[in-house]
Amino acid sequence: MANENLSVWTSIPFWRRSAAWVTGFASILLIWLTFDTLGQISMGNDADLKAGTTKRVPGPTVINYKITYEMSKKRGHEVPVIGEKEAFFGKSDYSEKEARALLHLGKLTSQAKNCMDCHTLLGNGAYYAPDLTKAWIDPAWSKTGPMMAMTGKSTREEAMAEFLMHPSTYPTHARMMPELGITAEEAKGLVAFLKHMSSIDTNGFPRNFGKEEGSTNAQ
């Protein structure tokens, strides 16, 4: 009599063992990936910035530094580059605590005013209005862009804060951002929040983001 279980593909114990191995392997892989990701996304601190250590998510005091977006030949896309110190609203020595408090205010304001209803932040949100992930380094806000002249301000942060407080006074696109009743302190927090966000290494996302003239090639 022929044995019908001769083929391994019809053997139930074989499939049971395979399922157990695959589940076990996938669990170990997921645990490893979770810890690897946590390491990649945990926020750096002031000491990293002072030592020039590159963190994917730099510490809050990154608001004290110049941030540019430069092409990395090795990675094939732009990466944020943290440069020399620069003043932020006339102050260039925010302590970690002060910078953290400002970012926190900005984050809470962005949630309270629902920026994500219209904009995208780090991949979350809507596409009605421009992606804000790299808004801080948008050339429109640089010395050569239109926003400083339009708002009558001489720094990027002041121009951006002025726009956020009175968006309908400075329309630039066909769509207009509504007045959201943002106070000067909230605007300062929001700009700090946007500046910090632009310093996060997002693997070149969003793509095709405008580059400032004169930016060099990082390696």
Residues that bind ligand HEC (CB under 6 A): 109-110, 113-115, 117-119, 128-130, 132, 135, 138, 140, 160, 164, 171-173, 175-178, 180, 190
Count of CA atoms in the C-beta half-sphere (13 A) of 9: 0
Residue placing its CB nearer to ligand HEC in the complex, 119 or 188 = 119
Residue 17 or residue 175: which is nearer to ligand HEC going by CB?
Answer: 175
Burial of 137 (0-12, 13-18, 19+ CB in 10 A): buried
**Shortest distance, CB of residue 93 to ligand HEC, whole angstroms?**
25
Closer Cβ to ligand HEC, 55 or 88, answer by number: 88
Specify the 3-state DSSP secondary structure of 66. strand
Min dist. Cβ of residue 138 to ligand HEC (A): 4
Place of tokens 């530094």: 65
Nearer to ligand HEC, 55 or 133 (CB): 133
Compute the least distance from the CB of residue 42 to ligand HEC, in Å.
25
CB 64 within 8 A of CB 90: no
Q: Which of 90, 105, 81 is nearest to 198 (CA)?
A: 81
